[in-house]
A and B are shown apart, each in its own frame.
Chain A
Amino acid sequence: MSDTLVESSAGSAFLDLHKKIIEQGSPALAELQQVALNRFEVLGFPHSKHEMYTYVNTKGLVETAFSLSDGSKKVSEDFVASHVYPGCENQCLVFVDGIFNRDLSRVEKVSANLVPLSESVSSDQDLKKYLSETAENENDVFAALSTAFCGEGLVFKVGDNTQISEPVQVLFVSTGGSPVMHAPRLVWQLGKLSEVKVIEKFVGVEGGYFINAVQDWLLEEGAGVSFTQVQADASDSWHFSKTRVHLHRNSRFHSSNASFGSQLARHHYDVRLQEEGSELRLNGVSVLDGKEQVHNFIRIHHEAPQCVSHQHFKNVINGHARSSFDGTVIVNQGAQLTSSDQLINNLMLSNDGHADNKPNLMIFADDVKCTHGATIGQIDKEQWFYLQTRGLSARVAKELLTRSFAKSIIETIEFPEVVKDLNSTLLKKLEVRNV
């Protein structure tokens, strides 16, 4: 794997832009941003054959001259309200163009949990150390870029033995309309035996923007997280996100992602099962059309014995869309009794779509059970025929089968309102044509 850089002019445009953020930003974060910027310079933008970006063409993104949001664009309360799920009205954090917007958010119930990132970095030396070490060792150039440009982020703390039973929604609104880059940043710290349920939704008012989000989940012993992400950005936007998860003894992290796709949506998960008994579940579904693309990049490190990880991803590909998956499960030496499975199913509806998969296993321990599977196929003709014999038209039968393919993931989401929303919006994309 070579790390040959793309021509430096694109990188230097970002460097110039960075001066601005240092001037405007908080001094407490400046050190972290500088570390990340240095890392960004070392890594450079990837060329098309870079092993981490095999199926992702970032040329268009790199060549776009992005500017930073000046925070002047307003979002109406109605727009926000239309994207807040029923049941989350009282616990909703709203980010507009990457910056936490207190006026639009409803945080009365959780205000004690929220600490601005700059404040947390100044007071919590452990967190500061963790963040700068992570930035120093970052291997994903876009995550380095995000940290270098992050505005005032948020730290969400849940104390020991605290369970927040109502789901917390985080809404990322991008105003768009011009090539603007923003980099929201969140850190979730969960104390021992604490629990939280989180729904994140990414939406855009207009397209053309580049959202590059990074978040860290630090789970102490016995903590539990249910995490749902809905990526519903404008179809001509760029969406990059990196989710780092650190799991300690007996903690569990259940995540579901539903993607509408965009010009390029890349989800990067980096999960470390650091202590015995931790458990991970990653599910994902995407329904793509036109020229949309979704790329899932997953690295799961089994560092301790007796941990469990499950992954299941399903993609429906229509039009000229492209779905790609690059996932590796790494079982370290000594991580005996690991159980890990990974399954990727792709349903191809058109002749011009692409489905690319790279499900890897790297195993350094002998007493483990690891499996992976990947399939690419079409609607089962026999099932389709059967439904037609029962009086359904070919069109309806096909739509029914496609919907049920996607639904098997959507219905694992534990929030009925999100399921309802996805059934009516995400699956609506299937009705447009080709059925």
Chain B
Amino acid sequence: MSDEQNSVSDILEDNTYKYGFTTDVESETFAKGLNEDVVRAISKKKNEPQFMLDFRLKAFAKWKTMKVPEWPNVHYPPIDFQNISYYSAPKQKKVLNSLDEVDPEVMRTFEKLGIPLDEQKKLANVAVDAVFDSVSVATTHKKKLMEVGIIFCSFSEALQEYPELIEEYIGSVVPVGDNYYAALNSAVFTDGSFVYIPPDTISPMEISTYFRINTEETGQFERTLIICAENSYVSYLEGCTAPQFDTNQLHAAVVELVTLENAEIKYSTVQNWYAGDKETGKGGIYNFVTKRGKCQGDGSKISWTQVETGSAITWKYPSCLLLGDNTTGEFYSVALTNGHMQADTGTKMIHVGKNTRSSIISKGISADYSSNSYRGQVKVGKNATNARNYSQCDSMLVGDKSSAHTFPYIETANSSVQVEHEAATSKISEDQLFYFESRGISRENAIEAVISGFCKEVFKQLPMEFAVEAQKLLTLKLEDSVG
């Protein structure tokens, strides 16, 4: 028992948002505002090929004609897109040859976050790409990955070295005008990660990107593109944090995944952006992200796992386009909201190919004054014979001021499909807690056990280190809310 007691007191001490510090790094930031010149300047700054500039300009033209989506179940004051700086990068004098040359302040930041990039200390079997504000500062394990032919680098680097791959795939999953924020991202994105897994390759290690917003009033617009060629496999992790500011920051990312025949991508996210002040709701990140995977080749598979615990507002629907025959899409999500957070998240499973299958497991926990919505679409096309879907979305409410919503859209146009959807809403029952307490287990530990049981199906999909972190994160966030 003493171990458990310790862990709770650790948690109590750590109850604040421990990633809320800022780092004093000299950075190069564009003046606020957005127009075509800014788009051209970003492209020029990054020395991009012509097709990229055309792509950006097309997106920008499209964005200007679009309206801010109003359908999500979230409320926030209108964003002034002219009051954001669209480019901020740690100032660097020259091209870096090794990690030793990275600004020590930046390195220390990542160390504080628990992401050692240092060659000696780096995590044993995870390759990391660290993105600081809008720019990728360091990528580890590149050589080892290159030995098996895997390309893992920052997006800017990929644009210089593998433009043909980018040209072929960028915008193929999320078109420039897909939605308001995707269009904005396509116009102004600055960096991100690029992964290419060649045919018949199983990635020897987990690949991960770590995002950090540092400068106030900048937006972070990164773009991730992962291509998994025939018979290959990769597991990709993504983590995010940001400092505490009173103003809201915008994070509008786009992630595109493509799997060719029999390939598989497993994409896991633990999102812990600063969520704003717990009492007043001031500050925090607006997390408006478009994530989509395309199962292009027959027999391929894309699996999304997300643990959403941060951001003032989350608006995110990792989706799967099941184009090939016998393809599989999976979505596992835990979304926790507390304080004044608002989350509208879920997935889309679009069945086009034959014998496609998808499963959705979504667990929402809302506490305090927060609002948590699941919004998901399962669409089965006319030719998707024998398509199969199972969805389950459960909500748990903690406190009588919170709210939980479920908005599933199920659309089928084929008689051979089998679609099931179920949802339930409940609270942590007093009976369960009483039982634990009667067995000598403290209330905090009891709540932790109930929550981890509630989210078990999702956590077991996460790589081990992430699962532990995710579970701790949830307990930490719910401290004070229950009991």
Residues of B within 8 A of A1 (CB): 70-71
Q: Is B404 an interface residue (CB 8 A)?
A: yes
Among A349, A353, A357, the one with the most B-chain Cβ atoms within 10 Å of its Cβ is A357
Per-residue 0/1 for A47-71: is the Cβ within 8 Å of any B Cβ (1 yes, 0 no)?
0000100110000000000000000
The stretch of B134-142, B176-184, B408-416 that contacts the partner chain = B408-416
The stretch of A24-32, A208-216, A260-268, A374-382 that contacts the partner chain = A374-382
CA distance A368 to B407 in the complex (A): 18
The stretch of A102-110, A192-200, A358-366 that contacts the partner chain = A358-366
Residue on A with the closest CB to B418? A377
Per-residue 0/1 for B409-451: is the Cβ within 8 Å of any A Cβ (1 yes, 0 no)?
1111111111111111111000000000000000000000000
Residues of A within 8 A of B410 (CB): 355-358, 374, 376
CA distance A30 to B309 in the complex (A): 56
Q: A371 touching B424 by the CB < 8 A rule?
A: yes
Per-residue 0/1 for A328-346: is the Cβ within 8 Å of any B Cβ (1 yes, 0 no)?
0000011010000000001
Residues of B within 8 A of A352 (CB): 413
CA distance A359 to B427 in the complex (A): 21
Q: Is A369 an interface residue (CB 8 A)?
A: yes
Residues of A within 8 A of B422 (CB): 371-374
CA distance A359 to B400 in the complex (A): 23
Residues of B within 8 A of A361 (CB): 395, 404-406, 423, 425
Residue on A with the closest CB to B411? A356
- Given A333-B401, A360-B406, A364-B403, answer yes or no on A369-B426 (Cβ-Cβ < 8 Å): yes
Residue on B with the closest CB to A372? B423
CA distance A367 to B427 in the complex (A): 6
CA distance A225 to B400 in the complex (A): 33
Residues of A within 8 A of B400 (CB): 333-334, 336, 365-367
CA distance A377 to B416 in the complex (A): 7
Q: A371 touching B415 by the CB < 8 A rule?
A: no
Q: Is B154 an interface residue (CB 8 A)?
A: no
User: Nearest Cβ in chain B — how far from A78, in angstroms?
Assistant: 41
Q: Is A13 an interface residue (CB 8 A)?
A: no
Point out the residue from B70, B399, B404, B408 that lies within 8 Å of A2, measured CB to CB. B70
Residue on A with the closest CB to B71? A1
CA distance A378 to B408 in the complex (A): 21
Q: Is B334 an interface residue (CB 8 A)?
A: no
Q: B401 touching A377 by the CB < 8 A rule?
A: no
Q: Is A370 an interface residue (CB 8 A)?
A: yes
Q: B413 touching A354 by the CB < 8 A rule?
A: yes
- Given A361-B423, A367-B427, A371-B423, answer yes or no on A349-B415 (Cβ-Cβ < 8 Å): yes
Residue on B with the closest CB to A362? B405
Per-residue 0/1 for A297-315: is the Cβ within 8 Å of any B Cβ (1 yes, 0 no)?
0000000000000000000
User: Nearest Cβ in chain A — how far from B429, in angstroms?
Assistant: 9
Residues of B within 8 A of A372 (CB): 406, 421-423
Q: Is B322 an interface residue (CB 8 A)?
A: no
Residues of B within 8 A of A373 (CB): 420-423
Interface size class on chain A is: 35 or more
Q: A356 touching B419 by the CB < 8 A rule?
A: no
Point out the residue from A54, A353, A366 that lies within 8 Å of B427, measured CB to CB. A366
Q: Is A9 an interface residue (CB 8 A)?
A: no
CA distance A55 to B377 in the complex (A): 14
Residues of B within 8 A of A51 (CB): 71
- Given A366-B397, A371-B422, A373-B421, answer yes or no on A358-B409 (Cβ-Cβ < 8 Å): yes
Point out the residue from B382, B415, B416, B421 that lies within 8 Å of A359, measured CB to CB. B421
Q: A362 touching B425 by the CB < 8 A rule?
A: no
Q: A366 touching B421 by the CB < 8 A rule?
A: no
Q: Is B272 an interface residue (CB 8 A)?
A: no
User: Nearest Cβ in chain B — how far from A273, in angstroms?
Assistant: 17
- Given A333-B400, A354-B413, answer yes or no on A360-B407 (Cβ-Cβ < 8 Å): yes
Q: B425 touching A368 by the CB < 8 A rule?
A: yes
Question: What's the A-B contact tally at a CB cutoff of 8 Å?
Answer: 122
- Given A371-B425, A372-B423, answer yes or no on A363-B417 (Cβ-Cβ < 8 Å): no
User: Nearest Cβ in chain B — how far from A365, in angstroms?
Assistant: 6
Point out the residue from A346, A354, A357, A376 that lies within 8 Å of B408, measured CB to CB. A357
Q: B421 touching A348 by the CB < 8 A rule?
A: no
Q: B420 touching A375 by the CB < 8 A rule?
A: yes
Residue on A with the closest CB to B389? A376
Residues of B within 8 A of A54 (CB): 409
Q: Is A350 an interface residue (CB 8 A)?
A: yes
Q: Is B402 an interface residue (CB 8 A)?
A: yes
Residue on A with the closest CB to B388? A377
Residues of B within 8 A of A363 (CB): 395, 397, 403-405, 425
Q: Is A125 an interface residue (CB 8 A)?
A: no
Residues of B within 8 A of A8 (CB): none
Q: A370 touching B421 by the CB < 8 A rule?
A: no
Among A2, A333, A361, A375, the one with the most B-chain Cβ atoms within 10 Å of its Cβ is A361
User: Nearest Cβ in chain A — how far from B37, in angstroms?
Assistant: 32
Q: A350 touching B415 by the CB < 8 A rule?
A: yes
CA distance A181 to B93 in the complex (A): 77
Point out the residue from A2, A357, A378 that lies within 8 Å of B416, measured CB to CB. A378
Q: A348 touching B412 by the CB < 8 A rule?
A: yes
Q: A351 touching B407 by the CB < 8 A rule?
A: no
Residue on B with the closest CB to A350? B415
- Given A360-B407, A363-B405, answer yes or no on A378-B415 (Cβ-Cβ < 8 Å): yes
Residues of B within 8 A of A55 (CB): 411
Q: Is B255 an interface residue (CB 8 A)?
A: no
- Given A361-B425, A363-B403, A376-B410, answer yes or no on A348-B397 (Cβ-Cβ < 8 Å): no
Interface residues of B in 47-79 (CB under 8 A from A): 70-71
Residues of A within 8 A of B403 (CB): 333, 362-364
CA distance A369 to B397 in the complex (A): 11
Residue on B with the closest CB to A322? B413
Q: B417 touching A377 by the CB < 8 A rule?
A: yes
Residues of B within 8 A of A365 (CB): 397, 400
Interface residues of B in 354-401 (CB under 8 A from A): 382, 395, 397-401
Q: A358 touching B407 by the CB < 8 A rule?
A: yes
Q: B426 touching A354 by the CB < 8 A rule?
A: no
CA distance A365 to B366 in the complex (A): 11
Residues of A within 8 A of B416 (CB): 351, 378
Residue on B with the closest CB to A355? B412
Interface residues of A in 220-250 (CB under 8 A from B): none
- Given A362-B403, A366-B397, A366-B399, answer yes or no on A377-B426 (Cβ-Cβ < 8 Å): no
Q: A351 touching B405 by the CB < 8 A rule?
A: no
Point out the residue from A351, A360, A366, A368 that lies within 8 Å of B415, measured CB to CB. A351
CA distance A375 to B421 in the complex (A): 6
Per-residue 0/1 for B277-307: is the Cβ within 8 Å of any A Cβ (1 yes, 0 no)?
0000000000000000000000000000000
Q: List 17 A-B contacts (CB under 8 A).
A: A1-B70, A54-B409, A346-B412, A348-B414, A356-B411, A357-B408, A357-B409, A361-B423, A362-B405, A363-B397, A368-B425, A371-B422, A371-B425, A372-B406, A374-B408, A376-B417, A377-B417
Chain A contacts to B: CB under 8 angstroms: 1-2, 51, 54-55, 333-334, 336, 346, 348-378
Contacts A355-B410, A362-B405 given; 17 further ones with Cβ under 8 A? A2-B70, A348-B415, A351-B415, A353-B415, A354-B412, A356-B410, A358-B407, A360-B406, A360-B408, A363-B403, A366-B398, A367-B400, A369-B424, A371-B425, A376-B417, A376-B418, A378-B416
Chain B contacts to A: CB under 8 angstroms: 70-71, 382, 395, 397-427
